[in-house]
Structure 1
Amino acid sequence: MAGARRRQAGEGGISEYQTKAGPRFLIKYAAQRADGTKRVVLKRGFRTRREAAAVLRAEIRKTEMGEWVEPSKQRLDAYLAEWIATQRLSPSTVSSYRKNIRLHINPYLGVQPFARLTGPMVDAWMRELEVSGRADGTGGLSARTVRYVFTILRAALSDAVRQGRLSVNPTDRATPPSPSDARPPEMQAWTAPELARFLRWADADDRDLAMCWRLLAASGMRRGEALALRWRDVDLDAARIAVRRSVGVVKEKDAGQQLVEGPTKTGQSRVVDLDAGTVVALRAYRAARAQVSGDLVRDSALVLGGVDGAHRHPDRFSRRFGAQVVRARKALGEELLPWIRLHDLRHTHATLLLADGVPVKVVSERLGHANATITLTVYQHVHPGMGREAAERFAALLDG
């Protein structure tokens, strides 16, 4: 092009070419492979010479600093299959990653060479998921799900950068749904009278299930932790339980599903003290199960297992709670018992304790949170009233 400065050796070059959409520019430069050989790199499609020049300068700098990475021709779906096979994650997490890759990444981006992914391509993919990403074809995915799938892709491509297979992570140049857009469903919790009302009704309806709900509400355990609890973890004389493991559902395409035990969510065990009423209920529950079969109360037996001694299925366990809540609301009056999910028994446990002035550190340890900051963040809605009470107590100390 007239007036353009002739580039020196090692500076690369920029050329203009014509397309149906108008003029475009390509860059050309030499780079050294990992084995020491050199290759000439061409990149096309730049809309302006300025844009092409900026990219060329960046690429030349990478070659000078030894940071240039030869673009891989491997497809994204092949790379993700290779990546997931190397991840040291819990079986349930690996199963979830595989499912989301299969349903929400590969059908949209899988055929692309992963080295050619760009931020705009990732953005377009997420917008498509939001509009029509449901596997059953009934609409789009929630912002929370889209952000979750995005984090899977980001983690995989971050590993590619760390391994020297990508120079930059295209997800760094994309805009996923914000944390506020992807916030979880609003937390629900029963008051103490509501919880007591439900437990009394459930005990009359199905004593076996009532013990399940009472233990969850009294301990703050996660569902998987409760379903993995064994009698050797229970010390009724000391009124405490040891939470050491969790059970989850692992699903694989064409291979069905299985229940797998693993560590707790944080990987740490904890001890949770129980109230006297729950200990009395557990003694009665154990005695009733012993009458069915001595095998159900052996040290290795599951506390909340089925009558066959096997794990209860976590998803079906949650559905049984939901069904009981529906029946309880009809029997007791919907205005006396708001709808909650099974996981909300854990929220109820924490909320009642915090509202009653139990230190956050104590509640955090009972819940098995990695640190008290998580407890403060999750249950910040409880804190304003507690703060006012603390201020009033301080004033009372001064007045005294």
Structure 2
Amino acid sequence: MKGHIRERSPGHWAIVLDVGEIDPKTGKKKRKWHSFSGTKREAQKECSRLITALDQGSYVEPTKQTVAEFLDEWLTFIKPSVAPKTHERYAEICRKGLAPLIGNVMLSKLKTDRIDVAFTTALTAPRVDHRIKKDSDQREPLPPLAPRTVHHYRRVLVKALGQAVTWERLSRNPATATTSPKVERQKMLAYDVSQTATLLETLRPTRMFIPILLAVTCGLRRGEILALRWRHLELGDNRRQMSIEESAEQTDDGVRYKEPKSGRARTVALSASTVAELKAHRVRQAEEQLRLGLRPDGNSFVVAQVDGQPLQPRSLTHEWVRVLGKTSLPRIRFHDLRHTHATQMLSAGVHPKIASERLGHSNIGITLDLYSHVMPGMQADAAEQVDVALQAAISSERQGK
């Protein structure tokens, strides 16, 4: 392969590559043209790189497609193969996050340094709030993006540009070599036993009591609570358990029911007090629905509206924030009630393997990683128990002599 450079204007060059084939229409050699900005030496280096790429078969045709245009194409491509909620998150990151940062850059010219600069800007520069206030034409500045947000941006960009490499739009993925922002681990929030008791007794008269009870005594996720039906529960004296088979997920198109997060169903044992509360709830719910002319059955939702219709996940979250605000308890997320159950289990000496199965983690490593803050106390107790047994054996051995 051969190639040469031509100066178009100061600092701007045309790199001309001779492909070696003859165009049957013109009878002339086929050529590929690239635009380049920089010094003559830099243009010569780029020309050499492109010639090498042609020789090695890693050459990528120049394209004027922008990063924003490619991301839209990629979103359309992956839509059938990912969950609706996942696609919505990807679309929001691509269109509201990545596009304003690097969307106008031509895909073929996107380099690692350009991405790093964009991410650094996002982490340090104030943003503009494009929502104009009614009483003012000024737009309020917003704080820079959080490292965790930029971390998510980077992960999606790496995934998208990986497809660009597969489609031979890029010779390599420039996002893989970018510097990932340091993300500080979020502090795990949970109520202690006393606070949990206060929560349950304070909110017992409200419709949030049963969702809260299922979260703090069974470790269920929000979506799992809202997908739970009476046929999933066994409330007999000899068999007290529930089967977690579905999870409710809210998307822009509505609520859909899918398999649990781990990808498989699980069985959660119920305590006697939880069974008693659920039985009483079933009676109240049946009376409530019968007054409306409805006849509940096994397919009825355990947590439902007055007319038996299922609750939306976002509605449950909004109601949680509202009722919690009327108490003196610390403000935590509804999902932190699940963490409350996990923390109290481990603190009580429940084996992490059992806790992992109860919580529906795909493996015990997730449980140990999430709740490692509970482990030091457990290790201290274990050390004391082993020491007591050892000292007793030593004392027995001495007495035998």
Residue pairs, 1:234-253, within 5 angstroms: 234-237=233-236, 238-251=239-252
Letter of the 1:77 counterpart: A
CA apart distance, 1:173: 3.3
| CA 1:270–1:47: 2 relative to 1, 3 Å | farther
Letter of the 2:146 counterpart: S
SS at match of 1:310: coil
Give yes or no for contact 2:85–2:250 (8 Å, CA) kept in 1. yes
Structure 2 residue corresponding to 1:390, chosen from 364, 382, 398: 382
Alpha-carbon distance in structure 2 between the residues aligned to 1:94 and 1:32 = 44
Letter of the 1:245 counterpart: E
Please tell me whether residue 324 in structure 1 is matched to residue 320 in structure 2.
no
Please tell me whether residue 117 in structure 1 is matched to residue 110 in structure 2.
yes
Give yes or no for contact 1:90–1:262 (8 Å, CA) kept in 2. no
Residue of structure 2 in register with 1:271 after alignment: 267
Give yes or no for contact 1:104–1:149 (8 Å, CA) kept in 2. yes
Alpha-carbon distance in structure 1 between the residues aligned to 2:128 and 2:366 = 31
Give yes or no for contact 2:59–2:171 (8 Å, CA) kept in 1. yes
Residue of structure 1 in register with 2:158 after alignment: 154
CA apart distance, 1:210: 0.8
SS at match of 1:271: strand
CA apart distance, 1:170: 1.9
Give yes or no for contact 1:354–1:363 (8 Å, CA) kept in 2. yes
Alpha-carbon distance in structure 2 between the residues aligned to 1:371 and 1:226 = 21
Residue of structure 2 in register with 1:230 after alignment: 229
Residue of structure 1 in register with 2:210 after alignment: 211
Residue of structure 2 in register with 1:6 after alignment: none
CA apart distance, 1:249: 2.0
CA apart distance, 1:71: 2.8
Residue pairs, 1:1-400, within 5 angstroms: 10=1, 12-13=3-4, 19=10, 27-30=15-18, 39-47=31-39, 49=41, 51-52=42-43, 55-87=46-78, 88-130=81-123, 131=125, 132=127, 136=131, 138-139=141-142, 140-180=144-184, 183=185, 185-203=186-204, 205-206=205-206, 208-237=207-236, 238-251=239-252, 257-293=253-289, 295=294, 297-329=296-328, 337-400=329-392
Give yes or no for contact 1:72–1:114 (8 Å, CA) kept in 2. yes
The alignment yields a C-alpha RMSD, in angstroms, of 2.7
Alpha-carbon distance in structure 2 between the residues aligned to 1:48 and 1:233 = 73
Alpha-carbon distance in structure 2 between the residues aligned to 1:316 and 1:391 = 46
Alpha-carbon distance in structure 1 between the residues aligned to 2:342 and 2:384 = 23
Letter of the 2:343 counterpart: T
Letter of the 1:344 counterpart: D
Q: Deviations over 1:254-279 (max 9, x none)?
A: xxx52222222222221111111111
Q: Deviations over 1:50-107 (max 9, x none)?
A: x556545543333222222213322333322221123211111111222222222233
| CA 1:28–1:374: 2 relative to 1, 3 Å | farther
Alpha-carbon distance in structure 2 between the residues aligned to 1:120 and 1:176 = 13
Alpha-carbon distance in structure 2 between the residues aligned to 1:296 and 1:328 = 35
Alpha-carbon distance in structure 1 between the residues aligned to 2:97 and 2:336 = 29
Give yes or no for contact 1:225–1:247 (8 Å, CA) kept in 2. yes
Alpha-carbon distance in structure 2 between the residues aligned to 1:263 and 1:328 = 34
Give yes or no for contact 1:133–1:141 (8 Å, CA) kept in 2. no
SS at match of 1:111: coil
Letter of the 1:76 counterpart: V
Counting matched residue pairs gives 369
CA apart distance, 1:349: 0.7
Give yes or no for contact 1:91–1:260 (8 Å, CA) kept in 2. no
Whichever of the two has the greater Rg, that structure is: 2
Letter of the 2:377 counterpart: G
Give yes or no for contact 1:188–1:340 (8 Å, CA) kept in 2. yes
Give yes or no for contact 1:103–1:135 (8 Å, CA) kept in 2. no
| CA 1:292–1:31: 2 relative to 1, 3 Å | farther
Give yes or no for contact 2:16–2:31 (8 Å, CA) kept in 1. no
Give yes or no for contact 2:14–2:33 (8 Å, CA) kept in 1. no
Alpha-carbon distance in structure 2 between the residues aligned to 1:55 and 1:244 = 57
Alpha-carbon distance in structure 2 between the residues aligned to 1:379 and 1:48 = 58
Give yes or no for contact 1:240–1:273 (8 Å, CA) kept in 2. yes
Residue of structure 2 in register with 1:332 after alignment: none
Alpha-carbon distance in structure 2 between the residues aligned to 1:64 and 1:349 = 61
Alpha-carbon distance in structure 2 between the residues aligned to 1:91 and 1:293 = 33
SS at match of 1:272: strand
Letter of the 2:226 counterpart: L
Give ranges in structure 1 of 5+ residues lacking alignment.
1-9, 252-256, 330-336
Give yes or no for contact 1:26–1:43 (8 Å, CA) kept in 2. yes
| CA 1:277–1:170: 2 relative to 1, 3 Å | same
Alpha-carbon distance in structure 2 between the residues aligned to 1:375 and 1:125 = 35
Alpha-carbon distance in structure 2 between the residues aligned to 1:169 and 1:348 = 42
Give yes or no for contact 2:18–2:32 (8 Å, CA) kept in 1. yes
SS at match of 2:175: helix
| CA 1:296–1:150: 2 relative to 1, 3 Å | farther
Letter of the 2:59 counterpart: W
Give yes or no for contact 2:289–2:308 (8 Å, CA) kept in 1. no
